[in-house]
Chain A
Amino acid sequence: MSAVTSSARASAFLRSFTIQGSWNYRTMLGGGFAFALLPVLRQVFRGPQLTEALRRHTEHFNAHPYLAGLALGAAAKLEADGCDPELVRRFKTAIKGPLGGLGDALVWAAWLPATALLGLIAHFSGAPPWLCVLVFLLPYNLGHLALRLWGFRTGLRWGHEVGRVLREAALGRRTETVSRAGALLLGVFAGLVCTVGPAASAAGLRGGASEALWLVLAVGAFVVGLVGGVRVWRPAAVVVVGAVVSILTVAAR
Chain B
Amino acid sequence: MTLLGASLLGGALALDSTSVAQLMLSRPLAAGFLSGWLSGDLRAGFLAGVILEIYLLVAFPVGGARFPEGATATVVAAATAATHPGPGPLALAVGFGLVWGQLGGWSISGLRNLNIRVVPDPMHSELRPRRVAGGHLLALLLDFVRGALVTGTGVWLADLVVAHLNGRWPLGQPDTVGLFLVGAAVSAGILLQSFGGFRRRRTLFLVGLAGGALGGLLL
Contacts and interface: CB of A to CB of B under 8 A. Distances in A.
Contacts of B181: 193, 203, 205, 214, 218
A102 interface: no
Interface stretch (A48-56, A71-79, A154-162, A165-173): A48-56
Contacts of A41: 129
A38 B133 contact: yes
Contact of B132 (A31, A66, A182): A31
Nearest to A65: B22
A128 to B, nearest CB: 9
A146 interface: no
Nearest to B216: A195
B83 interface: no
Given A22-B139, A31-B132, A120-B29, A141 B23 contact: yes
A180 B61 contact: no
Question: Is chain A's binding surface mostly helix, strand, loop or mixed?
Answer: helix
B176 A204 contact: yes
Contacts of A130: 33
A184 interface: yes
B211 A191 contact: yes
B215 A108 contact: no
Chain A interface residue bracket vs B:
35 or more
A237 interface: yes
Contact of B183 (A51, A183, A186, A239): A239
B215 A125 contact: yes
A51 B127 contact: yes
Nearest to A198: B219
Contacts of B91: 244, 247
B209 interface: yes
Contacts of A88: none
Question: Is chain B's binding surface mostly helix, strand, loop or mixed?
Answer: helix
Contacts of A87: none
A69 B85 CA distance: 45
A38 B132 contact: yes
Interface in B134-191: 135-137, 139-140, 143, 165, 168-183, 185-191
Nearest to A113: B57
A22 B140 contact: yes
B174 A204 contact: yes
Contact of A24 (B24, B119, B132, B195): B119
A133 B22 CA distance: 15
Contacts of B169: 247-248, 251
A109 B135 CA distance: 31
A151 interface: no
B118 A190 contact: no
Contacts of B115: 22-24, 31
A67 interface: no
B2 interface: no
Interface string B1-34: 0000000000000000011111111010110010
A191 B215 contact: yes
Given A179-B195, A233-B59, 4 more contacts: A24-B112, A222-B188, A225-B193, A226-B198
Interface of A: 17-18, 20-28, 30-32, 34-35, 38, 41-42, 50-51, 54-56, 58-59, 62, 65-66, 100, 104, 108-110, 112-113, 116-117, 119-121, 123-126, 129-130, 132-133, 136-137, 140-141, 144, 179-180, 182-200, 203-208, 210-211, 213-214, 217-219, 221-230, 232-234, 236-237, 239-241, 243-245, 247-248, 250-252
